[in-house]
Structure 1
């Protein structure tokens, strides 16, 4: 498998410095953020690259001789947010990222399916997670109409640019499980929209990433390696849909998600946490995860995403890289000749 890192955790460094971190840890790819919730920190010449061969070649030249290549582009965001300052910008970021991917010789763009409001005129998103009442299905019918139109059009745009768009099955999105993936493909007839299999969001939803991989098969285009630890004592009391988040004050360090929306502080204590590989599931599990992906595409890019707040930036990547590399070695040692 091709093992790399999603670069957001290294936005505090220059691109050459980030590439060196990846190379020093024995990884071979860097997935680059190109918009959405986060700015394209490592692509300052974005507009120039879209138009200038010289700018493109200069950017690609930063990777030459490093042993590290570009491992896809990432513009996770909400392209269907009902507030134009967020939704329209994130939708355009996806289109720009697809164009950039073609310019850079890349064929994978990672993003999210998006989440609209619950009805026309809404200004806030509405995530239906348990549609037991008829009104909830009315909301979903409205949202799926918007989702279908957007992704049918985006699929055509991606196909025209020889790029496949991989959707992360993430909370607060219309598409967040296997059934939703099938529904999206059935409604749109998409050929260039599929899945980025990020194991972490499946774990806390009580889904098994290995089962999902084998179920979705060729609909999986790309993968993320991020672990989850369930904190049993808190989960036993509050479940995994606990909403005990804290709103951060304006004078606290916080991440803007577009428009007037900001990331909140994680619940304390939490029912579950994102952790580095190995802290939630052992190396043997990750070897089987890679095996399931290998059955789909032996050259699939599997990129670490580091969000373990108990570990430093490079420290956390190093812990995850050690487990992922060992899992890949186990896979290779047991693969048929």
Structure 2
């Protein structure tokens, strides 16, 4: 396993400055935002695909620091019912897939997207209960008319270029749980897998270790994010886990993102790392920092310090004691 980081946390720095800061922490891999919600401050695929000199400079910035790119990311809502919004996200995703293929990066991370409730809708609709029956009707329409057809097309495009799609299981999008990921994977194929982030499992009430077991048995984990979550035992009784308060209202929210080790202890994270290896995931653990109680540098540094002793980096040997 290698320790990596999603570089968007250093979007205020140039690519070279960000890489120097990251490398100084002993991190070996980077996940780079290429559009969509994370933006493209460090990597604009539309530009790099058209300018060979810029592409070579980008590659040199990574290679000269002995780092690897674990994934390119273009998180967006390509199924947004407003066509111009959806098209912009789609264009970023396709350009990111093309760039990943050119760079030899095996995974592109994104969201599944979430459609509206009919062809004339203006905003996404995320059904979370089967009744009243309208909700089930909306969900069935979304999957049959939007989610599966879109990902069949894009999944084929990615597969033809040797790229795997890592969908982040994020609330508010059609694929947000192990079951919904496997549903889409069954319809589209093995090109679809998870960019599994335990923080989004915890607030939904899903045990990340069990999520890893479920998805790992299907070889359906393409990438992994390291981010923590804490659930407030009092506020959750007021607001529930679908708390819609702004993330800035940290005293009042039912849950909030934390840096690794500040939501769950080292034993829990050791169990997560062990489960990943148990199911055959021996790739990058990519830190994502979204802790509202810590600065960027402090949150990132603490995550590195928490994870470095837990990673298993050496190849598996034979069970000499058997």
Rate the CA distance shift 1:267–1:311 in 2: closer, same or farther, 3 A. Answer: closer
- Offset of residue 324 of structure 1: 1.0
Match of 2:13 in 1: 13
When normalised by structure 2's length, the TM-score is: 0.93
2:302 aligns with one of 291, 306, 319? 319
SS in 1 for 2:62: coil
**Take 2:175 and 2:113, find their aligned partners in 1: how far apart are those partners?**
8
Name stretches of at least 5 consecutive residues in structure 2 with no aligned partner: none
Runs (4+) off by over 4 Å? 264-268, 331-337
Match of 1:284 in 2: 267
**Take 1:171 and 1:279, find their aligned partners in 2: how far apart are those partners?**
21
Match of 2:162 in 1: 162
Question: What RMSD, in angstroms, separates the aligned Cα atoms of the two structures?
Answer: 1.9
User: Do the aligned residues in 2 keep the contact of 1:110 with 1:168 (CA within 8 Å)?
Assistant: yes
Structure 1 segment 124-273 matched on structure 2, within 5 A = 124-145=123-144, 146-188=146-188, 190-217=189-216, 218-245=219-246, 265-266=248-249, 268-273=251-256
Instruction: Give deviations 1:91-136, integer Å, cap 9, x for gaps.
Output: 1211111001011110100001000001120001111111222110
Is residue 113 from structure 1 mapped to residue 96 from structure 2 by the alignment?
no
Instruction: Give deviations 1:214-269, integer Å, cap 9, x for gaps.
Output: 11111111000000011111112221112233xxxxxxxxxxxxxxxxxx755651
Structure 1 segment 10-159 matched on structure 2, within 5 A = 10-44=10-44, 46-145=45-144, 146-159=146-159
User: Do the aligned residues in 2 keep the contact of 1:118 with 1:125 (CA within 8 Å)?
Assistant: yes
Name stretches of at least 5 consecutive residues in structure 1 with no aligned partner: 246-263
Instruction: Give deviations 1:39-98, integer Å, cap 9, x for gaps.
Output: 200024x33421444332221001233132222111111110111232111112111110
User: Do the aligned residues in 1 keep the contact of 2:248 with 2:292 (CA within 8 Å)?
Assistant: no
**Take 1:332 and 1:266, find their aligned partners in 2: how far apart are those partners?**
42
- Offset of residue 19 of structure 1: 0.8
User: Do the aligned residues in 1 keep the contact of 2:34 with 2:92 (CA within 8 Å)?
Assistant: yes
Rate the CA distance shift 1:234–1:33 in 2: closer, same or farther, 3 A. Answer: same
Instruction: Give deviations 1:184-217, integer Å, cap 9, x for gaps.
Output: 12223x2211111101000011101111111111
Match of 1:274 in 2: 257
**Take 1:295 and 1:110, find their aligned partners in 2: how far apart are those partners?**
23
Which moved further from structure 2: 83-92 or 225-234? 83-92
When normalised by structure 1's length, the TM-score is: 0.89
**Take 2:140 and 2:123, find their aligned partners in 1: how far apart are those partners?**
17
**Take 1:208 and 1:239, find their aligned partners in 2: how far apart are those partners?**
17
Q: How many residues align?
A: 316
SS in 2 for 1:113: coil
**Take 1:57 and 1:220, find their aligned partners in 2: how far apart are those partners?**
30
